Amino acid sequence: MAAQLLTIEVTRLDAGRARLRLAGELDFDTAPELVAVVAELRREGYGELLFDLSGVSLCDSSGLSAFVVAHRGGTGAVRLSGVGPQLRQLLDRTGLAELLAMDRPADGDTRQAG
């Protein structure tokens, strides 16, 4: 069974904020791609990174690690939106929900972005 690819759509919002829309599986095979995109944005001077995770179908420990790398690699905020119930539970259980800012979705709208 072939792994589902991860797509990362980057939108540079203004001089310091960028939105990353992820779709697919964020796992051992694809997390390095996210880390590379984040590193490039940091080099370009983007401090605040807004992650739209509404299209993520799976996230494992490697994906969580990529969010920690993003958080520790810059001076600006890392904000997660579109966090589904399974990923929210994983973030809660690992304590990362306390570290990473997450938008609270409006009634059933998991696509709300920051």
What's the whole-number average pLDDT of the chain? 87
Task: State residue 90's pLDDT score.
Answer: 93
CATH topology of domain 6-102: Transcription Regulator spoIIAA (3.30.750)
- pLDDT at residue 10 is higher than 60: yes
Task: State residue 25's pLDDT score.
Answer: 96
Q: Are 67 and 58 in contact (CB under 8 A)?
A: no
- pLDDT at residue 2 is higher than 60: no
| Sheet order of strands, 101-102 included | 6-14, 17-26, 48-59, 78-81, 101-102
Tell me the mean pLDDT in the region 99-107: 73
User: pLDDT by residue (tens digit) across 31-62?
Assistant: 999 999 999 999 999 999 999 999 999 999 99
pTM of the model: 0.84
Backbone angle region of 56, left / alpha / beta, with phi > 0 → left and psi within -120 to 50 → alpha: beta
Task: State residue 113's pLDDT score.
Answer: 36
Name the residue ranges covered by the structural domains of the chain.
6-102
For residues 1 and 110, what is the distance between their CA atoms, to the nearest angstrom? Answer: 28
User: pLDDT by residue (tens digit) across 68-81?
Assistant: 999 987 767 899 99
